[in-house]
Amino acid sequence: MQRVPKLGGMEKSFKFRVAPGHLIRRAQQMAVSIFMEETAGFDATPVQFAILHALIDAPGADQVTLAARVAFDAATFGSVIGRLEVKGWIRREPDLADGRRKRVWATPDGAKVALQMKRAASRAQQRMLAPLDEAERKQFRALLGKLVAGHEAERPR
């Protein structure tokens, strides 16, 4: 067996398999995969699902506010919105007070699809956390919420 050379008493390789960033990335991959399996008949991504529900909650939101609400990069948000518009699930109009801004609404078809997807999305959430018992699920959600909130608080607005 070949030994890994050490530098100053430390092994050269980074133990990425136990690194939080790697584990979060793997969990995200699994979450998206499970979501796509459960919602396969709807042809929508998790971000598109979130956008539609955000628009149900706040119709007529501007694109920048909407991107922040669903925690998506504002620079690439327009392409996601464009795909929803092509599907007929949202409509965009210039803001009457500020023509540079676009306001967005879910169409009746978009709202219908979003509401129809809720059951499948709920199943996906349950499957994602299935390896954990109920107490662990509660703790996991609390810790993820704390992690996200802590890092969002550090980011400049």
For domain 20-154, the CATH class is mainly alpha
| Per-residue pLDDT tens over the stretch 38-94 | 999 999 999 999 999 999 999 999 999 999 999 998 888 989 999 999 999 999 999
Domain boundaries, the chain: 20-154
Per-residue burial over 38-75, b if 16 or more Cβ lie within 10 Å, else e, is bbeebebbbbbbbbbbbbeeeeebbbeebbebbebeee
- Taking the C-alpha atoms of residue 78 and residue 47, their distance in angstroms, rounded to an integer, is 12
| Per-residue pLDDT tens over the stretch 101-151 | 899 999 999 999 999 999 999 999 999 999 999 999 999 999 999 999 999
